[in-house]
Amino acid sequence: MVPTVIRDLALLIARLGIGVVFVAHGWQKVGVNGLAATAAAFDQIGVPLPVLSAWFAALVELLGGIALIIGLAVPVAGALLAVNMLGAYLFVHAGKGLFVDTGGAELVMALGAGSLALAAAGSGRCGLDHLLTPRLRREHGRERRRERVG
């Protein structure tokens, strides 16, 4: 079993890395290209409900990325980001191979899998979820005691 401190550090690094990438992509949709241009691009490639999809993708990526970075509502943010990447795979990248330089799915697969893993694992002790949720602190305390005993 991995010591709790190593697990928490690994979760923090994963949250920061994945979160920064999502914030950048969300900001690109909102602040760089704009939501109207993002919706037009979604429409052009056949994404259903392009305006709603653009809003969903932009807000989930931006706010979900921030949530991962600060460790707030990580299971919810991770699940929403994984769903977002599933949509990106199905509507944009499927059938285009693996590598991103040919429109492939490597980035959305990695981000989706990482987001799903974070949804399952949570924020660890280095996130706001741990500070705001007493139940999580109790569970981590039991886990640490089991490590010392076992």
Interior/surface letters 102-122, b for 16+ CB within 10 angstroms, e for the rest: eebbebbbebbebbbebbebb
pLDDT single digits (tens) 110-132:
999 999 999 999 999 999 999 88
Enclosing H/E stretch for 145: helix 134-149
Per residue in 15-44, pLDDT (tens digit) is 999 999 999 999 999 999 999 999 999 999
CA 88 vs CA 39, 47, 50, 139: distances in Å: 14, 9, 12, 35
Please list, in sequence order, all residues whose beta carbon lies within 8 angstroms of the beta carbon of residue 45, skipping any fewer than 6 positions away: 91, 92
